[in-house]
Amino acid sequence: MAQEERIQPVAIEEELKNSYLDYAMSVIVSRAIPDVRDGLKPVQRRILYSMAELALRAGTPFKKSARIVGEVMGKYHPHGDDPIYESMVRMAQSFSMRYPLIDGQGNFGSVDNDPPAAMRYTEARLAPIAEELLADIDRDTVDFAPNFDGSLREPIVLPGRAPNMLVNGASGIAVGMATNIPPHNLGEITAALTALADDPDLSTEALLRYVPGPDFPTGGIIQGRDGIGAAFATGRGRIVLRGRVALEEQGRSGRYQLIVSELPFQVNKAALVERIADLVRDKRIDGISDLRDESDRHGMRMVIELKREAQPRQVLNALYKFTALQSAFAVNMLALVDGQPRTLPLKQSLLHYLEFRRQVLRRRAQFDLTKARERAHILEGYRVALDNLDAVIQTIRGSQTAETARTNLMRQFRLSQAQAQAILDLTLRRLAALERKRILDEFAEIIKAIAGLEDLLANPRKIDVLLKEEWEEVAKKHNNPRRTFISEEEAVELTEADMVQHEPVVVTLSRAGYVKRLPAETYRPQLRGGRGVVGLRTRETDDVSHLLVTDTHDSLLFFTHRGRVFHLRCYELHADSTRQSRGTPLVQYLAMEPGERVTALLGLSAFDSDRYLVMATREGEVKKTALQEFASVRSNGLIAMNLESGDELVEVKSTGEADDVLLVTEQGQSVRFGVKGLRAASRTSGGVRGIKLAANDSVIAMNVLDPSSDVLLLSARGVGKRTPTSEFPTQARGGLGVRAMRVSDRTGPLVAARVVKVDQEVMAISAEGIVIRMAVSGISRQGRAAQGVAIMRLDEGDQVVSLALVSERLSDEETPPSRRRRR
C-alpha cells in the first residue's frame, strides 16, 4: 500500500516533452555545441585538461593514446573510448584544425579519409598552442565543477589565452540545431580583438579590414566576398570554395594538364579522384585523357591530363560543376553563451571572447593580489621578529610548548596566528645578515606588486593593455601566413555553357527535319571541282536543306516557312560522332507543329541593341525588326513575320543600320538596297516589296554586302563564280533589279548566294549529303553576266542545296580551330 502511494499519475505528453527537452539540452550543452569562451566541446576540454594533468606538455615525451583515453574516460568523460579517441584524433589532424591542439605521433588519418591507427599504436602530447588555452588554469581564472561521480573537480571552461573558437572553428549536430564555424587566421583574429578593445563600436565592415575571411587549413580559394560579408554580419552565410588548380604544358607535345595542389576544406581527395574518373567514364566530362594522384610527404599533387583538342577552361568549369573541386561551406556560427545556444555574428563572437578574457585577467589579478597580501602579511611578521630578535628568542625559550610560544608571540608582539607560526617555522640560517636583507627586499617588492595589482584591478584600460600584449605574444609564437586566398570574383552558378568549349562546328539540317552537329575540322579542304565527302547520310526520300558553320556557344534561330522562329543554343544539339550519321529529329528540340519546316537558319553570338534582322520571303517581300526582340524566344516559338497566303520565309540576316542587302533569285536576278530605307517593324507585322519577280521566279537568298568582298553564286548543278560587290548597283527596292548570273540548262537554277572574302573557305552540300570544303581563292572571279565554272562534281540526279561560309581558313598545315582562340 505504501508503494502504491508513491506512484504519481503523469500525462504521457508532458513526460515525453520534459524528457525530450532534458535530453536535447544535454546534447546541446554537454556534447555538440562549443562554448564561445574557449571554443571547445566538453570532450575536447576534458582531453586537454587530462593531458595537462599527465604533464604531457609540448617538448615532453609522447604517451600512448590509449593511456590518455583511459585517463579521460575514467575521470571525466564516461561515454566510451571511441568518441574520446575520435575527438582526440581530429584535434591532431593538420587538415582538420587550422592550429592543431594535439601533437600526434603515428597514423592519425589522412585527407584521403584513411582511418587512424588504433589508439594502442599512436602516441600524443599537447601542441604548443594548446598550452595557451590552459595557461593560468591553476590561478583561479575559471570555475571548476564536480565530475560525473563527484570524486574529482574539472574546469567548466579553459582560460583560453588564444581565441580558439574562431581560429580553429567547430562543427557539430545537436538536437534541432547544428553549428558550422569556419577556421580563421590567428594573426587576423588577434588584430581584430586588439582593434575592438580600443573601439567597441567598430562595425562589421571595419572588422573586415582585419579579418578578410576564413582561413582554412587545406588552403583553397574563396570565390568573392559577398558570402563572407553575410556570414560575418549575421552569423549565417554561404562561402564558395575552390581548389587551387594550375595549368601546365606537357613539354612540346602541345597538351596541357591541370595540377590540383589544394582542395576545399573537408573534401576527400580519394573520393574526388574516383568521382572524376566516373564522370570521364560516363562521358559527362570530355577532354580528360589521364588522371593520377602524385601526392607525397612534400604536398598534394593531383594531375589531370587533357586531350590535345580540349580547352582547359571548359574542362575546369565542368570539374567545378560536377565535383567537390568547388564546394560551399555553410557558415552557422552557433555557440553557447551563458549555457544557451546563440547564433553569433563575428563582432559578437569577438566581444564575448574579449569580455571573457577580461574576466580571466581580473580573476588572475585578484588571485595574485590575495597571494601577495598573504605573503606580505608573513613578511611583515618576519620584519617584526627581526626588529625584536632577542625578545622573540627569549619569548620562545621561555615557553613550555610550541602552542604556548605561538600564543605568547601573538600577545606580546601583536601578531596574527599565521605570522606567529611563520616565525616559529623560521630556520636559524634566515637570521643571517644577508638573509635578513633578502626578506626586507622581498617585502618591498611585494608591497610594490600589491600596489600594481590594485591599480590594475581599479583601471579596466590597463586590463585591455595587458590583453593586447598577450595576444601579440600569442600571435608572434603561433601564427603562420594565411593559406586560403580570397578571390574578388564572385561565385556564379555554372551553366552548361560554361562547360562547353568554343569550337567551330557544322550544323546540317535535312528537309525531313533531321539536324546534326559536327566539328568543322571533320571536313578537310579540297580543290575546286572535287567530289567532296559524305556529310549526312540521308534516306531516299530526304535531302539536305541547310548548312551552317557556327560556334558551339552561338544561339541558333530556326525560322520556319510559316514565319515562326525558335531558339536553341548550338551546344544543345547532340554532337554526332561520324559524318555518316543521319542526325536527330529537330522536333526533339523544338515544339514545331506537324508539317512545319525550317526555311532559314541563323547563328548569332550576341543580341546587340543596334542590330536588326532583315527577313526575305520567296515572293520577294522584306521586313526589318530589331534583333533584341528575338533575345527571349519561348520554347513553343514566336511569330517572326506575318506572311501572305502562299508565301514562305526563305532567308534571315543580321544587319546594321548602314548596311546594304542583296536579294538574289533562282533565275539569276538581284536587287541591292539600303537597310536604312526599311522601316523597323514589330515581329507580328508583315513585309514590304523587296524585288519584283518574273513569272516562275522566286527569291533564294539574301546577303549583307561588304564593299571589300565578293558575292559567291552557286547553282543546283555545282556551277558557280565570284563577282565583286561593286558590280551590283544600289537601287530602290521593289524593282526588277539586275542580272547576277546567267542561268542555263548547264547551270540549273541558282540555289545559294554568299558574301565571301578571298582568304575564307566555303562548304557546299548536295541533296544526297555530299559535302565539299574549298578555299574561296580557288573559285574564279567573273562579272555579273558570266555563267561561272564547275565548283562541285555531282552524281547523276544529285544537286547542290546549300552553301555555308567557314569563318576561319583551315589548311592541312595549320592548327585546327579547336586549338585556336576564337576571333
What pLDDT, on the 0 to 100 scale, is given for residue 84? 96
- Listed range (40-54, 69-83, 499-513) with the worst mean pLDDT: 499-513
Averaged over 339-365, what is the pLDDT?
95
Percentage of the chain lying above the pLDDT 90 cut? 53
| Averaged confidence pLDDT in the chain | 87
What pLDDT, on the 0 to 100 scale, is given for residue 540? 40
- Listed range (17-31, 69-83, 253-267) with the worst mean pLDDT: 17-31
Which of 664, 666, 714, 667 is closest to 690 using CA atoms? 664
Averaged over 15-23, what is the pLDDT?
80
What pLDDT, on the 0 to 100 scale, is given for residue 72? 96
What pLDDT, on the 0 to 100 scale, is given for residue 572? 81
Q: How far apart are CA 243 and CA 646, in angstroms?
A: 60
What pLDDT, on the 0 to 100 scale, is given for residue 244? 95
Nine-digit cell string for 803: 552553301
- Listed range (253-262, 571-580, 628-637) with the worst mean pLDDT: 571-580
Q: How far apart are CA 423 and CA 342, in angstroms?
A: 55
- Measured at the CA of 383, the angle between CA 381 and CA 389, to 5 degrees, comes to 100
Q: How confident is the model at residue 106 (pLDDT cuts 50, 70, 90)?
A: very high
Q: How far apart are CA 352 and CA 597, in angstroms?
A: 71
Which of 716, 701, 722, 719 is closest to 776 using CA atoms? 722
pLDDT: which is higher, 78 or 571: 78
Nine-digit cell string for 16: 515525453
What pLDDT, on the 0 to 100 scale, is given for residue 499? 64
Domains of the chain: residue spans and CATH: 38-159 (3.90.199.10), 188-236+333-349 (no CATH), 244-324 (3.30.1360.40), 354-478 (1.10.268.10), 502-814 (2.120.10.90)
- Whether residue 808 contacts residue 506, with contact meaning beta carbons closer than 8 Å, is answered with no
What pLDDT, on the 0 to 100 scale, is given for residue 587? 84
Residue 808 confidence (pLDDT) above 50: no
508-544 in b/e form (b: 16+ CB < 10 A) is bbbbbbbbbbbbbbebebbebeeebbebbbbeeebbb
Averaged over 684-690, what is the pLDDT?
90
pLDDT digits (tens, 9 = 90+) for 203-214: 999 999 999 999
Which stretch, 27-41, 321-335, 407-421, has highest mean pLDDT? 321-335
Percentage of the chain lying above the pLDDT 70 cut? 92
What is the enclosing helix (H) or strand (E) of 438? helix 433-458
What pLDDT, on the 0 to 100 scale, is given for residue 490? 78
3-state DSSP assignment of residue 679: coil
Q: Which residues pair with 624 in a beta bridge?
A: 614, 680
What pLDDT, on the 0 to 100 scale, is given for residue 545? 67
Residue 525 confidence (pLDDT) above 60: no
Residue 415 confidence (pLDDT) above 50: yes
Strands 102-105 and 123-126: antiparallel
Q: How confident is the model at residue 156 (pLDDT cuts 50, 70, 90)?
A: very high
pLDDT digits (tens, 9 = 90+) for 242-271: 999 999 888 767 788 999 999 999 999 999
Length of the chain: 823
- Listed range (42-56, 116-130, 202-216, 667-681) with the worst mean pLDDT: 667-681
Q: How confident is the model at residue 493 (pLDDT cuts 50, 70, 90)?
A: low
Can you give 620-654 as a three-state secondary structure string? CEEEEEEHHHHCCCCCCCEECCCCCCCCCEEEEEE
What pLDDT, on the 0 to 100 scale, is given for residue 53? 96
What pLDDT, on the 0 to 100 scale, is given for residue 816? 35
Q: How confident is the model at residue 541 (pLDDT cuts 50, 70, 90)?
A: very low
pLDDT: which is higher, 631 or 532: 631
Nine-digit cell string for 229: 560579408
**Residues involved in catalysis:** 121
DSSP string, 563-618: SEEEEEEGGGS-B-S-TT---EEGGGTS-PPTT--EEEEEEES---TT-EEEEEET
Strands 688-689 and 800-806: unpaired
Residue 580 confidence (pLDDT) above 80: no
- Listed range (112-126, 329-343, 574-588, 783-797) with the worst mean pLDDT: 574-588
What pLDDT, on the 0 to 100 scale, is given for residue 821? 34
How many CB atoms within 10 Å of residue 728? 20
What is the enclosing helix (H) or strand (E) of 95? none
Q: How confident is the model at residue 518 (pLDDT cuts 50, 70, 90)?
A: confident
Q: How far apart are CA 468 and CA 476, in angstroms?
A: 12
Q: How confident is the model at residue 599 (pLDDT cuts 50, 70, 90)?
A: confident
What pLDDT, on the 0 to 100 scale, is given for residue 813? 33
pLDDT: which is higher, 518 or 524: 518
Q: How far apart are CA 133 and CA 135, in angstroms?
A: 6
Q: Which residues pair with 292 in a beta bridge?
A: 303
Residue 741 confidence (pLDDT) above 70: yes
Q: How confident is the model at residue 138 (pLDDT cuts 50, 70, 90)?
A: very high
Return the residue matching grid coordinates 605570522.
419
Residue 579 confidence (pLDDT) above 80: no
Nine-digit cell string for 473: 605574444
Nine-digit cell string for 385: 621578529
Residue 529 confidence (pLDDT) above 90: no
Q: How confident is the model at residue 463 (pLDDT cuts 50, 70, 90)?
A: very high
What pLDDT, on the 0 to 100 scale, is given for residue 107? 96
* Structure-derived torsion over alpha carbons of residues 269, 270, 273, 276, reported in degrees to the nearest 10: -90
27-38 in b/e form (b: 16+ CB < 10 A) is bbbebbbbbbbb
CA 176 to each of CA 23, 24, 89, 349: distance values in angstroms, whole numbers, following the listed order: 11, 8, 26, 22
pTM of full prediction above 0.75 = no
What pLDDT, on the 0 to 100 scale, is given for residue 87? 96
3-state DSSP assignment of residue 290: strand
Q: How confident is the model at residue 370 (pLDDT cuts 50, 70, 90)?
A: very high
